[in-house]
Amino acid sequence: MAISVFDLFKIGIGPSSSHTVGPMRAAATFAQALREQGLLEQVSRVEVRLYGSLSATGVGHATDRACLLGLMGEWPDQIDPQSIEPLIAQLQQSQVLMLDGTQAIAFDCASDLLLLDESLPYHPNAMTLEASSASGSLLQQTYYSVGGGFIVEAAQVGTAGNSAEQVQLPYDFDSAAQLLALCKQHKLRVSQVMMANELAWREEAQVRSGLLKLWAAMRECVDNGLRNEGILPGGLKVKRRAAKLHRSLQELGKPNVIGSTLSAMEWVNLFALAVNEENAAGGRMVTAPTNGAAGIIPAVLHYYMKFNPEACDNDVVDFLLSAAAVGILCKKNASISGAEVGCQGEVGSACAMAAAGLAEVLGATPMQVENAAEIALEHNLGLTCDPVGGLVQVPCIERNAIAAVKAINAVQMSLRGDGEHFISLDRVIRTMRDTGADMHANYKETSRGGLAVAFVEC
């Protein structure tokens, strides 16, 4: 399966890639299919059935709203976040849904959008949409939201998938060992291998402009997070902290009196908090590789670009390409879905990706890049996904800040060595997969265990 850097990094909205971006894409795809098959004008009713984790934490992750918006023909990378509340309010008041933006149908959220206490076998994030006319069913489709905004139709399960996956890459790799062997054989850096592969889809100028567009969206998200204040939605009454922290750091006339290291950590924390507070508020995001872990890569890259006077756009390109190489390995050989393997698959993968990207732009060898990613992922193994109230707020926001600093520390350790180390990245990724398989469902984005339960008991 060929995976592009633009599959891992997508512009979307919060609060979740698997529970918001994926379901919105699935619902929009369904509405599009109705139009393309000439069925749209015959539809009088649509029923949405959410299963597994999409049902358990769907309301907190805005899965219900995402499905409605997708059915209206809205896409996560195109919708204006400011338009969401008016669209949902209008639907709730009128109980009329504009299917694909054109076909008015009656829609009662209480009876037409079902949260079911059951799971489908392929993946915990499953949803079925069925459109009917007065004479019966017109179209039914089941989708799986498998993490990072990726969706898989039921018909694709067990097949090669879509045509994009059939692209022949010049330097295809399925393991870190293969990646390192390619780098050594062809005397290439990790980012150079990735760029060569991206050229199988598009011209180099398009790759660069696309990556810089993603970086612009990441910067905008940070800026919005530094500006916006108040209480995050959802009922937990979690206060935004980034704007206040930013003011305090700007007021410092010199680095932290205890030392520049702590001052640096505060800036990295700030950038991660800003992104994930925006995510929790449903703002414009870049999945990196998911929304729940979206603050880690921007925080590390933002810090490097802001405080390195020699940093340039080429660094952004190399950073994101190298980060994507590790993300591809995690997705191919384990998972980036919290509902499938716990938060180790989201925050752990993002931490490893950020470490690989930073190591690359700091001049690390391919072996040191692999070592940095291995250190970062190894020390996130077993991390559970237990969001309080089903919201991507506690512990998710702080968890991104901690992981961003951890990624930088992993790079520092790898650069002090020669790339030789005891446990390979491939083994750590396999361990993440196996740990996720052993992990109880209560700790995989269901809010039925861990901190989610501890909060309720308190």
Instruction: Report pLDDT digits (tens) over 162-208.
Output: 444 579 999 999 999 999 999 999 999 999 999 999 999 999 999 99
How large is the average pLDDT for residues 443-449?
Answer: 94
Please provide the average confidence, as pLDDT, over all residues in the chain. Answer: 94
Residue 144 phi/psi, 5-degree rounding, is -120, 130
Residue 10 lies in a domain: no
Residue 306 sits in the same domain as residue 446: yes
Total residue count of the chain as it appears in this document: 458
Res 1: pLDDT: 80
Residue 335 lies in a domain: yes
Residue 107 sits in the same domain as residue 228: no
- Listed range (253-257, 342-346, 440-444) with the worst mean pLDDT: 253-257
Instruction: Report pLDDT digits (tens) over 393-436.
Output: 999 999 999 999 999 999 999 999 998 999 999 999 999 999 99
Instruction: Report pLDDT digits (tens) over 272-286.
Output: 999 999 999 999 999
What stretches of 308-395 show up as alpha helix (H) in DSSP?
Answer: 313-333, 338-341, 347-361, 366-378
Concatenating the DSSP letter of every residue in 188-213 gives --HHHHHHHHHTTTS-HHHHHHHHHH
Contact predicate 31/98, CB 8 Å? no
Residue 116 sits in the same domain as residue 254: no
**Tally of domains within the chain:** 2
Residue 145 sits in the same domain as residue 197: no
Residue 437 sits in the same domain as residue 303: yes
Res 359: pLDDT: 98
Res 252: pLDDT: 72
Candidate ranges 118-122, 303-307, 363-367; pick with highest mean pLDDT: 363-367
pTM here is: 0.93
Residue 141 lies in a domain: yes
Residue 444 sits in the same domain as residue 391: yes
DSSP 8-state assignment for residue 142: E
Res 393: pLDDT: 96
* E runs forming strands in 196-330: 284-287
Residue 430 lies in a domain: yes
Residue 209 sits in the same domain as residue 315: yes
**HSE toward the beta carbon, residue 314, CA cutoff 13 A:** 5
Final residue before a domain boundary, out of 163, 182, 201: 163
Res 254: pLDDT: 53
Res 261: pLDDT: 64
Residue 408 lies in a domain: yes
For residue 137, give the CATH number of its domain. Answer: 3.30.1330.90
Contact predicate 239/301, CB 8 Å? no
Residue 1 lies in a domain: no
Contact predicate 296/272, CB 8 Å? yes
Final residue before a domain boundary, out of 120, 136, 163: 163
Is residue 258 over pLDDT 60?
A: no
Final residue before a domain boundary, out of 163, 193, 224: 163
**Domain assignment of residue 348, given as a range:** 168-457
Res 458: pLDDT: 42
Helix (H) or strand (E) holding 113: strand 113-115
Residue 9 lies in a domain: no
How large is the average pLDDT for residues 105-122?
Answer: 96
Residue 145 lies in a domain: yes
For the chain, helix (H) and strand (E) counts, in that order, are 19, 9
Place of tokens 């489908």: 120
Residue 228 sits in the same domain as residue 337: yes
Res 161: pLDDT: 46
- Listed range (4-13, 84-93, 127-136, 155-164) with the worst mean pLDDT: 155-164
Instruction: Report pLDDT digits (tens) over 357-376.
Output: 999 999 999 999 999 999 99
421 burial level (CB within 10 Å; 0-12, 13-18, 19+): middle
Residue 153 sits in the same domain as residue 237: no
Residue 325 sits in the same domain as residue 433: yes
In angstroms, what CA-CA distances link 64 with 7, 24, 47, 252, 290? 24, 9, 12, 44, 19
Contact predicate 180/370, CB 8 Å? yes
What does DSSP say about strands 113-115 and 45-51: parallel, antiparallel, or unpaired? parallel
Local confidence band at 253 (pLDDT 50, 70, 90 cut-offs): low
